[in-house]
Structure 1
Amino acid sequence: MEYILKPWPWYVSGPLIATILLLLLYFGKTFGMSSNLRTFCSIGGAGKYADFFKFDWRSQKWNLTVVLGAVIGGFIAVQFLSNGAPIDLNPETVEDLKKLGFQNAGESILPPEIYSWENVLTLKGMLILLIGGLLVGFGTRYAGGCTSGHAITGLSNLQLPSLIAVIGFFIGGLLMTHFILPLIF
């Protein structure tokens, strides 16, 4: 019988995430990816141009291991723990995406209709990435953190602002999926 690689089930990955959060709590640290971007910008000298980046980034060096771990973990997952099978999308979702012009929905994580170089290097592609990046950056700063920081750390600490932010993330995702994405494609 052939062994088929599958994502880890919730009852394995959930307790692993909880263990990491308990360790971070024990050491007085918090988790979030957007703070790493701030640290990288500070290392690069952004503090010369904006006060937001003027802080002791050396005190956040430990958090850069999260970025390194995400890169290494992603590489290991794709190279050694992935069987290359298409993403198991709901057939209705595949049909909806085909109506929008996504011909190979589920075949790859990044649809070529958006992320192939020939589409990225068009005016439409550049505008999608630029406006999307600005909105994500603004939203992350305005919400005081990113989806991982609020949804994992903030909700685990029962923080009301994180609950409000996560609800906002979901509402924004639904609005994007059902109203804005059809207008773009």
Structure 2
Amino acid sequence: MSSTLLDTLFPTGWAHYLAGGLLVGAGTALLFVCTGRIGGMSSVFSSSWSWLVRRPYFQATRYVETRGWRLVYAAGLIVGALVWWLGFTDGAALGTRVPAWQLLLGGFFVGYGARLSNGCTSGHGICGLGSLQLPSLGAVLTFMATAFLTANAVAFLSARFA
């Protein structure tokens, strides 16, 4: 790839994306090798809600019996992000130019998609593909196609109506 294309695709550099991907992959692999547990984040989210929400979905045995280690797993992600921010940035607040309503709408659709596909991108994309699960391949291909279409539609509409 040419330097200009890399600069366009990754205006803040690419090395931190590679490091993050390697760390996430190593962490989920370590979790699986050491415990046999799969570290998808949608189940971490649901099991964490099982502490507060008494609806039958959140009180399912698979969430209630695993919520302890999943909460520790989620805390590790938060602490890891904090360590990265404090150790590898200038400490300035990170931000985005994406409007809050778009972040909320996108979060809703991501949550809905994770629930619909019985897993999220980390569960299917990292853990499922890593263990050669065919349904995860279908989920990842659907995630990626949807992301490509959505990103291009938003870019087109933004340019057209800006």
Band the TM-score falls in, shorter-chain normalisation: 0.7 to 0.9
Aligned to 1:92: none
Displacement of 1:28: 2.2
Structure 1 residue 111 corresponds to structure 2 residue 96: yes
Work out which of the residue numbers 142, 151, 158 in structure 2 matches 1:168.
142
User: Structure 1 regions of 5+ residues with no counterpart?
Assistant: 1-5, 86-107, 115-119
CA 1:8–1:162 in structure 2 vs 1: closer, same or farther (change >3 Å)? closer
* Gaps in structure 2 of 5+ consecutive residues: 1-14
Larger Rg: 1
Give the corresponding residue for 1:139: 113
Q: Describe the shift of the 1:19–1:71 C-alpha distance in structure 2 as closer, same or farther (beyond 3 A).
A: closer
Deviations 1:77-113 (A, max 9, x none): 111122579xxxxxxxxxxxxxxxxxxxxxx864234
**Aligned amino acid, residue 149 of structure 2:** L
Aligned to 1:7: 16
Tell me the distance in 2 between the aligned counterparts of 1:15 and 1:73.
Answer: 10
Report the counterpart of residue 57 of structure 2 in structure 1: 52
1:68-147 aligned within 5 A:
68-83=75-90, 110-114=95-99, 120=100, 125=101, 128-147=102-121
Q: Secondary structure at the match of 1:61?
A: helix
Q: CA deviation at 1:138?
A: 1.4
1:63 to 42, 55, 70: 70
1:7-26 equivalences under 5 Å are 7=16, 14=22, 17-18=25-26, 20-26=28-34
Superposition RMSD in Å: 2.9
Cα separation, partners in 2 of 1:113 and 1:157, compared to 1, 3 Å = closer
SS at 2:57 equivalent: helix
The letter of the residue matching 2:71 is L
Q: Alpha-carbon deviations, 1:110-161, whole Å to 9, x = none?
A: 42342xxxxx3xxxx2xx3443233112100111101111111000100011
Residue 44 of structure 2, aligned match among 33, 36, 43: 36
Q: How many residues align?
A: 143
Offset of residue 182 of structure 1: 3.8
Q: So what's the TM-score if we normalise by structure 2?
A: 0.72
Aligned to 1:99: none
Partner of 1:152: 126
Give the direction of change, closer, same or farther, for the CA distance of 1:8–1:147 in structure 2 (3 Å limit).
Answer: closer
Q: 3-state SS of the aligned residue for 1:7? A: helix
CA distance in structure 2 between the partners assigned to 1:146 and 1:175 by the alignment: 18
1:82 to 1:172, Cα distance in 2 relative to 1, 3 A: same
